[in-house]
Structure 1
């Protein structure tokens, strides 16, 4: 609504000056942009051709070719999901006015205007720009007005215009051609809904001091900037942005860059504030952010030129919940500047904790947004796990300020490079901030987590072809475990065989070369190759040839070491050996595998497995010598051995388990259980790896064991196997329970070590889950004491999740209702999250059904928490069928209100179906798929296929292993 917007004389003059300066640079920018697009069309040195099997084969197939050229597709440009290569944005001027009170129709809205300055790269009579769910003010009957930057140049008139809803475009057909090399302005005025859908420009609500408050915030990744203003909404379409926010007086406004000025004005008789921000650096639309709120902040001491602030609800800030985030932010920023050998690119770093936020956090450049649980730490009410989450999420998001924001992927098919990199180096940044935590070892959990997905026939490569990733739902689906955890695992492996200093040197070269531009992943390989060409580094092939085998084909190998013959071989590992792999591989599912290993405790020289099978006489063991491959779990592969070496390793676990490095003890457990599921080794061999656990006190091996035994609980907790399984785990856990009871003086103290605190939680959790009487009585006593005096909670934050869940499971309606009241009144986000999860632990079906109804009522459960609440119910053996029926009955509503743009939506299908292991459940799942094809599955489409595949594998595994497991457990549980 243009008539309400005030433009000062000084600002107008500044705008004219900027326009004049821009004329000097725009043509040069257009040439650079056109060259960059041409250069990025094919990665340097090529990529492996489909079907190639020779290690030295080079490629004639470009994995980056776009769908518009790779396949005929729709004939009209506006029917394609990718923008034409005819126009490129240079600068946006955006003014937005969010209304924080509903209008007469009860709707929250925002109004705005935008001018985008763009350069024409090729003559065209068509303007296509993204716009979604925006209502436009018409200029002479059309949604936009076109101008030339140079008034001397004639401008074609808009002949026709329309909104293409399916592809989310505003389309303008001109009566003449825009000329290549010229710069134009496109003006729009629009209105949108400030909805509570957690997408684009949206609203969040919270209650403080009994008053409900509303704020406006944003989430643009991956395709939601188009919901806030018309834009060229692709990551390669970088531009600069000048933002103005109009907002109620008494509120503050934030955007990516520093505030330039703020003044009180009137629009349409309404007194408001008008805040103008400095122009941003050149950046992608998905990194743009705006916030209007009544939040408070704390600020760093600014020993550097970078302004660091933490923003949150006023009560959270005054209670000190932002202090830890502020302290570690400054430490991590300092570490990354040295690690990248590149200064922080901006002048400020604002981090904001939002009451309603769908993702865990979002790396908006200079204005990072978080869930409250990912940024706020209460020193009284939060646990060690909460503290670590704050640390690692901050480290992840700050890593993006360089890798992802300064240098950005060209298209979403390479999302893994952004997210995998941040998921790896977050451990380095976190370790620098908390060096006593030994947190770098925790990356083994990333590897273990992604193995489960990447061992499916329905997995996918890290980098997909562009034509596989076009629709918004296909883009959202890329935000998965493969992109994050496999990306982290293979980059860590690369760093290990290059060495960390060389890896960091290559990163610095890459970041400096491509600052403020876009790349494809092979550009990183090129820069790592440059710094690797030294006599000190010996690689069997180029960095690109090695890494393309991990990036361009899905899955990973199981490496089998035969200590009798010295033979070392590799094979594509599948959880279900009967699964049919339909996706082809350019390398015939063969990898270049770097293998670090030790022999009877002595570290050996690394060797490379370059073919399906190789011989290395050094691995032959004689007598009682044992061999352990993949030390430190530095490689992304599983390891199997001949039976004799397995027996030697099992004997070592029982006699001197600490002779095996901590992370490798975890690896042995994880590999054995998964090799058994894949029928590579006997199931009883896997179970035998756990019989030493009564002597184990380290957290990481216990975490690995419990993660794998959880699969047995899921498969057997509805069968006669469950009793012996409970008995066996209770027997193994009891010494750990007694150990922590002793060193904590009967639970009165907290263990000093970071990992010890986690293992104390494991001890208590497994003791309660397996029915240990002492644990049950402890949980009920603590919870009863809290119920008697709600103002004084006697339970240590580390133990709250276990105690809450156990007490609610052992208790009845009174315990549930008390926990619900505490949840409603919680002012610390981490406490709220613990209670919300624990409420799903009740064994009363009617309470669970009521809770499922609450999960889709935003007045009771926030939209951001709906999916995880349903999954929490499904984790409960009583709740699983209730959650499954609930989701089937309400699929259309859930999908349309919670699933269209959610990164976490695939977790709903995965979480509900994790117990499925019968033919009946398989048929139900297949019927669910057929019955909802018209509704759709969005970003959960792949998760549904994987759930079907996992269910089939579970059925086969149970049929073959059930009696064997029962017999073994019955003997061991005595």
Structure 2
């Protein structure tokens, strides 16, 4: 059993027949093992499998229960868990559940302490103690001397009168009662109304540390076990869990459903659901039962059909990709009215927000369809990578989420091959994470175990670095190895992780693979990308042929307090071309190197944006590329056009090139018709809007962007026959949104009138919405911004009556666009009332309001005034809570605003910031950089926009 991963045994054995040479590329996915082995010679986490010295925590714990990590004395083998959720409130008005659990544990190190996670559970007393311990087989259980609960570390501690014997097994039995709260954590309550009837669903979210809130358990990912689940529920409901239902009987007014034993798995992958939902199903994948569950109205209106149609092909793709059969007998996917995350990969029972699974063929947009495809693809990838093969501790979460974030594009591309969806990784992941990883407050993909201890620190790991940088770095690995070699290694993943002794043999195999020109082992190359934060900017001087690399920081004056064993240098694979001809891949192994170029060549590096780095050139080459964009932009690929824009804008913010040079990359856009370059430009120009929309610069910026967007607006007006048809291209449908949205906000003639007329038609006939689903988000926002209380109140009524979650989501976002401060303040107050705005949507609604120039100060004041309440409701462990801090601080760019931000931090230290702690530090860093950038660039930017808008 490897130190980083654990593999279900019978599936792993089935893969052993694969050739050793197929393992070569997986080294990059298991670098954490070698790192942890070297690092942990003296200090291993409390959960380490070999029982060596525990890792130090920020404080010096006096007792084992003061640590956040479980001791290594006991390992769970199996659980028998029975849960009974009450879907009607008790006499005190509270919803609750009761349950009992018997966990079989094996002693691997003598101990007189039994420590298990338990949080917010009322445990039944047995002779004054919280549990009953019995021996299994020949083992005799010591008597319990004392037991108590530790709130801080969320442990149930059982002190025994004598020690447990190594090799012996015991059964720990508990009975308990917990609140079935609406907090979206653990075993919780979701509510909805159907046909005027209020209904309650008991559902679950265990990741990352919420299983302990459902039953006492060893709640760490490495503590895998088999789970035997029984659920007691009302007769008019159905119970679901990870395994297939194997038994059902009625007793009085209740039913009892039992489920087949699970695979050996982590507690965070458990799922328990009781509802009156219905399903549609398919058995097209051999003997595998695929079911989509949702509210009856949603299933009856065929909102589950699309997800069912793509699930089969995506599962087939992954079976091929991993060269391993899906190991369970069924694949359930369920859409929940209340769910904090986007989706969760519970093994055999994947849970989703309704917006991520349900598609209405009439009312939903192309974007909704793509979201469903990519989210389903992401979660199903976890059935193998994450569930079958699991990380040992949360510090290496990137291996799980980064991998799924990369291959989701492959699975989605297989399901929808006409979308060219693999290119979107550049916008959705690579460029997105560059913005975070260029900060001095970033962190490596693989963090030290001692940095990730508390539940809040664990939740903080579910961030852009783990997901998007993980995806970008794995894509780079696939690019320089080639996809077939990478895929062959992935298909042998389970074998490799069963035999870590083959690590260096496989490294050598990579170097010796015919056709591979890799200057170091994959292990050495990838260590530099995963064990140190950040990324390089590669500078090419076409006058001399020299190449250099340097750690890219958005604020070059920022101070790094995180040392790197590699001194912030990388082994950089550079794919490049000169004057349109692809050149052999070049490796930059030190700070400097050389390319063979001539001064007349235009050079483009990082073709296909294959590498995770930015590129700078000498001024002559920049001008050659700008000239090429202006005369023949299609000589460069779509994603390389987007790359040139994104690199230039960010190099300018880092003071590496002139700001006006970056702005010049947008001059050709009047000729551009493709979505990805336009989207890249608009995202970068959005920074200028955020920095200057409260200053005199904004007027000149608006005139310039109006001039650039007008041809695109006219283009789509023409090809859609005056907005009556849908563009045929998948991404063209997105760019039509850009054309209309920017044209309206920049004052292009005819745009505002068009938007208002569509919205007015809908207001006059609420039962017939004339706005095409692809355009609804843009139209709702623009029409409400142009309008007043009548338009807003109409949207609110439509929101409350919406039967499709994605339609409700569009309206919820659109209402944040109003320019009336009193409406925005009223809307902010609504976020505190879950009967108006669901808890799952509260923080994102505040974020939407903060995007609005009128709403930003209102949202900022609102959050500061109610921080204690918001933190109590969402802050401790919520994955999405950091997004709230990012959203409300984006526009901060003055010294006064920085002081306000610092005071906010100081005033709330006693409350805490939980999973938003890192986001707050990054907000301070970004605000500091914004202040300097605006001071240095405002005059130049104003002059440039004035000159170019004439």
TM-score (norm: length of structure 2): 0.95
What's the counterpart of residue 175 of structure 1?
A: 161
Q: Do the aligned residues in 1 keep the contact of 2:851 with 2:887 (CA within 8 Å)? A: yes
The 3 A distance-change label for structure 1 pair 776 and 459 is: same
1:199 aligns with 2:175: no
Shift of 1:307: 0.7
- Among 568, 581, 587, the alignment partner of 1:602 is 581
What's the counterpart of residue 442 of structure 2?
A: 459
The 3 A distance-change label for structure 1 pair 45 and 912 is: closer
CA deviations 1:390-423 (Å, max 9, x no partner) are: 0000000000000000000010000000000000
1:684 aligns with 2:663: no
1:469 aligns with 2:436: no
1:241 aligns with 2:224: no
What's the counterpart of residue 19 of structure 2?
A: none
Q: Do the aligned residues in 2 keep the contact of 1:567 with 1:614 (CA within 8 Å)? A: yes
Shift of 1:899: 1.7
Q: Do the aligned residues in 2 keep the contact of 1:727 with 1:973 (CA within 8 Å)? A: yes
Shift of 1:303: 4.3
What's the counterpart of residue 485 of structure 2?
A: 502
Shift of 1:261: 1.0
For 2:32 and 2:660, how far apart are their aligned partners in 1?
48
For 1:433 and 1:778, how far apart are their aligned partners in 2?
36
What's the counterpart of residue 54 of structure 2?
A: 69
1:838 aligns with 2:814: yes
Paired residue secondary structure (1:692): helix
CA deviations 1:440-477 (Å, max 9, x no partner) are: 00010110000000000000000000000010000000
Paired residue secondary structure (1:232): coil
Shift of 1:506: 1.1
For 2:509 and 2:602, how far apart are their aligned partners in 1?
39
For 2:38 and 2:517, how far apart are their aligned partners in 1?
24
Alignment of 1:77-116 (within 5 A): 77-116=64-103
1:853 aligns with 2:829: yes
What's the counterpart of residue 253 of structure 1?
A: 239
CA deviations 1:694-715 (Å, max 9, x no partner) are: 0001111001000100001100
Q: Do the aligned residues in 1 keep the contact of 2:31 with 2:527 (CA within 8 Å)? A: no
Paired residue secondary structure (2:176): strand
Shift of 1:60: 6.3
Paired residue secondary structure (2:250): strand
For 2:189 and 2:39, how far apart are their aligned partners in 1?
49
The 3 A distance-change label for structure 1 pair 303 and 454 is: closer
For 1:486 and 1:64, how far apart are their aligned partners in 2?
28
For 1:514 and 1:604, how far apart are their aligned partners in 2?
36
For 1:304 and 1:786, how far apart are their aligned partners in 2?
47
Q: Do the aligned residues in 1 keep the contact of 2:32 with 2:396 (CA within 8 Å)? A: no
Shift of 1:772: 1.9
- Among 584, 590, 594, the alignment partner of 2:569 is 590
TM-score (norm: length of structure 1): 0.92
Alignment of 1:612-627 (within 5 A): 612-616=591-595, 618=596, 620-623=597-600, 625-627=601-603
CA deviations 1:712-752 (Å, max 9, x no partner) are: 11000000000010110110000000000000011000001
Shift of 1:504: 1.2
1:162 aligns with 2:148: yes
Count, aligned residues: 917
What's the counterpart of residue 122 of structure 2?
A: 135
For 1:525 and 1:204, how far apart are their aligned partners in 2?
50
What's the counterpart of residue 731 of structure 2?
A: 755
The 3 A distance-change label for structure 1 pair 229 and 523 is: farther
Alignment of 1:746-785 (within 5 A): 746-785=722-761
For 1:87 and 1:63, how far apart are their aligned partners in 2?
21
1:957 aligns with 2:933: yes
For 2:651 and 2:199, how far apart are their aligned partners in 1?
53
Q: Do the aligned residues in 1 keep the contact of 2:285 with 2:312 (CA within 8 Å)? A: no
Alignment of 1:805-954 (within 5 A): 805-954=781-930
What's the counterpart of residue 21 of structure 1?
A: none
1:306 aligns with 2:288: yes
For 2:403 and 2:840, how far apart are their aligned partners in 1?
26
Shift of 1:526: 7.7
For 2:280 and 2:508, how far apart are their aligned partners in 1?
43
What's the counterpart of residue 22 of structure 2?
A: none
For 1:183 and 1:644, how far apart are their aligned partners in 2?
73
1:553 aligns with 2:538: no
1:731 aligns with 2:707: yes
Q: Do the aligned residues in 2 keep the contact of 1:510 with 1:523 (CA within 8 Å)? A: no
For 1:792 and 1:43, how far apart are their aligned partners in 2?
55
Alignment of 1:508-519 (within 5 A): 508-514=491-497
The 3 A distance-change label for structure 1 pair 612 and 764 is: same
Q: Which runs of 5+ in 2 are unaligned?
A: 1-8, 14-26, 47-52
Paired residue secondary structure (2:615): strand
Shift of 1:347: 1.1
Shift of 1:66: 2.1
| Residues 506-515 or 339-348, more deviating | 506-515
For 1:526 and 1:727, how far apart are their aligned partners in 2?
62
For 1:533 and 1:437, how far apart are their aligned partners in 2?
37
Q: Which runs of 5+ in 1 are unaligned?
A: 1-24, 30-39, 50-57
The 3 A distance-change label for structure 1 pair 124 and 440 is: same
- Among 426, 432, 440, the alignment partner of 1:449 is 432
What's the counterpart of residue 22 of structure 1?
A: none
Q: Do the aligned residues in 2 keep the contact of 1:507 with 1:527 (CA within 8 Å)? A: no
What's the counterpart of residue 435 of structure 1?
A: 417
CA RMSD between the two structures: 2.0
For 2:35 and 2:280, how far apart are their aligned partners in 1?
51
For 2:658 and 2:685, how far apart are their aligned partners in 1?
16
For 2:593 and 2:919, how far apart are their aligned partners in 1?
36
1:370 aligns with 2:349: no
The 3 A distance-change label for structure 1 pair 94 and 524 is: farther
